[in-house]
Structure 1
Amino acid sequence: MISRSLFLRPLPLALAGLLLFLLTFLLLGSHSYLIIHDNLDTEIASPYLLNKFHVVFDYRPTTLIPSIMNGLPRNALRSGLSPTVWLFGVLPPWAAYLVNQALVRLLGLLGMWALLRRRWLPEPGQRGLAAGLALAWATLPIYSIYGLTVLGQPALLLAVLRLRAGRGRWWDWLLVAAFPVWSFFVFVGPFVGAALAGLALYDFWHGRQAAALKVGLATGLLMAMYVVVEWPLFYSLLVAQQFVSHRVEHDLLQETQLGLISGLRQSFNFLVLGQYHSSQFFRGAVALAVMAALAWAPGGWRPAARKLAPWLLGIVGVSIFCGFVLQGVALVQHQLPLLHAFNLTRLGFLLPLACFGVLALCLRLLPAGRHSVTTGLVGLQLLTGLAMNTEWSNNLRELAGRPKPHEPNYARYVAAPLFNTIKTYLARRTGLPPSGYRVGCLGFAPAVAQLNDFYTLDSNQNSYPLPYKHQFRPLIAGELAKDDALRSYFDAWGNRCYFFSHELGRNFLVPATPVRTVQAWALDARAFQRLGGRFILSAARLATPAHSGLQPVADFAHPDAYWHIYVYEVAAAAR
Structure 2
Amino acid sequence: MPIQKNHIERRLLIFAFLALAVFVSPLFILGENAHIRVHDNLDSNLAWYKVLAESGQLIGPADAVIPQIINGQLSRNAFGTEFSLIVWLYALFPPMTAYALSQTITRVLAFIGMYLLLKTHFLSGKQWNILAINVGTSLAFAFTPFWPSGMLSTLGMPLALWAFLNIRKKEKMRKSYLVLTLLPFYSSIVLGFFFFLTAMGIFWLIDVIRTKRWNGRFLLSIVFMTLMYAIVEYRLVYSFLFDDEPNSRDEYFHARLSLWRSIRLTYKNFIYGHHHAATIHTLVILPVMILALFIIIRKKIWKKERTFILLFILNIALSAWYAFWFYKGWLPLTERFHFLDTFNFARYHFLRPLVIYVLFALSLKILLVTPWKRTVPILVAAQLIVCSLTNEEIIFQTKPTFKQFFAEDQFNEIKDYIGIPQEDYRVASIGIHPAIAQYNGFYTLDTYNNFYPLTYKNQFRKIIEKELAKNKTIRIYFDEWGGRCYIFTAELGKRYMFKKNSKKRLKNLELNIKPFKEMGGKYIFSAVPIDNAFENNLSLERTFESSSSVWKVYLYKAI
Whole-angstrom distance in 2 between the partners of 1:231 and 1:55: 16
Structure 1 residue 235 displacement after superposition: 2.2
Contact 2:112 2:138 in 1 (8 A): yes
Q: How many residues align?
A: 547
Matched, 1:539 2:541: no
Structure 1 residue 22 displacement after superposition: 1.1
**TM-superposition CA deviations, 1:278-300 (whole Å, max 9, x none):** 12523342332234434657992
Q: 2:194 is matched by which residue type in structure 1?
A: P
Structure 1 residue 251 displacement after superposition: 2.7
Aligned to 1:315: 315
Contact 1:294 1:305 in 2 (8 A): no
Aligned to 1:417: 409
Contact 1:7 1:13 in 2 (8 A): no
With normalisation by structure 2, the TM-score equals 0.94
Contact 2:23 2:391 in 1 (8 A): no
Aligned to 1:134: 138
With normalisation by structure 1, the TM-score equals 0.91
Matched, 1:553 2:541: yes
Aligned to 1:200: 204
Summarize the alignment of residues 430-469 of structure 1 with structure 2, pairs less than 5 Å apart. 432-469=420-457
Match among 494, 500, 509 for residue 512 of structure 1? 500
Q: 2:67 is matched by which residue type in structure 1?
A: P
Summarize the alignment of residues 61-140 of structure 1 with structure 2, pairs less than 5 Å apart. 61=63, 63-71=64-72, 72-125=74-127, 126-140=130-144
**TM-superposition CA deviations, 1:515-542 (whole Å, max 9, x none):** 4311121111111000110000111111
**TM-superposition CA deviations, 1:82-112 (whole Å, max 9, x none):** 1110000011112111111111111111111
Contact 1:326 1:344 in 2 (8 A): no
Aligned to 1:47: 49
Aligned to 2:3: none
Summarize the alignment of residues 107-256 of structure 1 with structure 2, pairs less than 5 Å apart. 107-125=109-127, 126-207=130-211, 209=213, 212-238=215-241, 240-241=242-243, 243-253=245-255, 256=256
Whole-angstrom distance in 2 between the partners of 1:264 and 1:392: 34
Structure 1 residue 332 displacement after superposition: 2.4
Contact 1:298 1:365 in 2 (8 A): no
Summarize the alignment of residues 303-452 of structure 1 with structure 2, pairs less than 5 Å apart. 303=302, 306-327=306-327, 328-367=329-368, 370-387=372-389, 389=390, 391-394=392-395, 403-404=397-398, 407-427=399-419, 432-452=420-440
Contact 2:34 2:393 in 1 (8 A): no
Q: Secondary structure at the match of 1:501?
A: coil
For the structure 1 residues 8 and 184, does the alpha-carbon distance in structure 2 shift closer, same or farther, using more than 3 Å as the test? closer
**TM-superposition CA deviations, 1:22-46 (whole Å, max 9, x none):** 1222221101111111111012122
- Structure 1's consecutive aligned runs of 4 or more residues displaced over 6 angstroms after TM superposition are 5-8
Identical aligned residues as a percent: 29
Whole-angstrom distance in 1 between the partners of 2:151 and 2:467: 37
Q: Secondary structure at the match of 1:440?
A: strand
- Structure 1: gaps spanning 5 or more residues: 396-402
Say which is worse superposed, 311-320 or 374-383, in terms of deviation. Answer: 374-383
Whole-angstrom distance in 1 between the partners of 2:443 and 2:9: 51
Q: Secondary structure at the match of 1:59?
A: coil
Structure 1 residue 141 displacement after superposition: 1.2
Aligned to 2:558: 570
Contact 2:279 2:356 in 1 (8 A): no
- Calculate the aligned-residue CA RMSD, in Å: 2.0
